[in-house]
A and B are shown apart, each in its own frame.
Chain A
Amino acid sequence: MSNPLPKRIIKETARLVSDPVPGITAVPNEENLRHFQVEIQGPSESPYAGGLFKLELYLPEDYPMEPPKVRFLTKIYHPNIDRLGRICLDVLKNNWSPALQIRTILLSIQALLASPNPHDPLANDVAKEWLDNESAALQKAKECTEKYAK
């Protein structure tokens, strides 16, 4: 990793700090400026409201040709996020475009918290619960937020 940090990453980082997205903070790791510590506030009117979710984001060598790698560190009960914190989101995989940025990706993740999609699950057991008994699933998500995201 002797390559200098591309200008685009420097610009994006500066803007994330000077003009942060509401409810989201992203701070680069001093030892590796491609590695970010992210915190996302659970959207209000969702079972994640009041919670603060920690994530890690890594910009691969080929970024922005390749999407950033993002993972939840905080345990969360969500049909599109599995036990290991991996996220099922189209823009992080086959719908990535180099016109997207760190901030737009984090906004998409925040939106995913506000509207879970149990029809395209990553955590199958959670998605099943979500479809079979939504109120129970929402309750579990709330309890999980209380327990792990506070």
Chain B
Amino acid sequence: MKVEFKKVHCVCAWSWDIHQTENDLKIDDTHESPQAKPSNNNDEEEDVCGICRVTYNGMCPNCTNPQVPCCLVVGECNHVFHVHCITKWLKQSSSKGLCPMCRQFFSLNKQLVINKPQLAAFENLNSKKHSVHFLLADANDEMLLD
């Protein structure tokens, strides 16, 4: 029997693979990690965003445009969120800048490649928060002087 290929369609799929240990995602991550994925296949709670509870791979409810990828970010505290979800939370004054999971001050882990494109935006978020803080402090001082 002779088989002739007339057309080939290439299809690819990808998914986030978030490792929980810091060494797995260092910037100089050139080597392939020798051991395969850590076993978190069936544990659904493990790989959903702590805010919207949609899987890491899924589109979060705060996505406005399917063209814009729904990226993940990892905090210093190692908690993982969709960038849209955590940004929306941190922009609210009621968040007090805290991680929803552990209530520590939320900042991105600068060592991780995955956070790199978001670093500037988060710096901006934090500095805005601080300037508001200073303005309030100034206002309080003035009131005290009056």
Contact = CB atoms under 8 A, between A and B. Distances in A.
Contacts of B50: 98-99
**Interface band, chain B:** 10 to 19
Contact of B98 (A12, A65, A97): A97
A7 B51 CA distance: 12
The main secondary structure of chain A at its interface with chain B is loop
**Interface band, chain A:** 10 to 19
A98 B51 contact: yes
Interface stretch (B33-41, B64-72, B88-96): B88-96
A58 interface: no
A97 B52 contact: no
Interface string B28-67: 0000000000000000000000111110000001000000
The main secondary structure of chain B at its interface with chain A is loop
Nearest to B92: A65
B91 to A, nearest CB: 9
Interface string B97-114: 010110100000000000
Nearest to A101: B53
Interface of B: 50-54, 61, 85, 88-89, 92, 94, 98, 100-101, 103
8 contacts: A6-B52, A7-B52, A8-B52, A8-B53, A65-B89, A65-B92, A96-B94, A97-B101
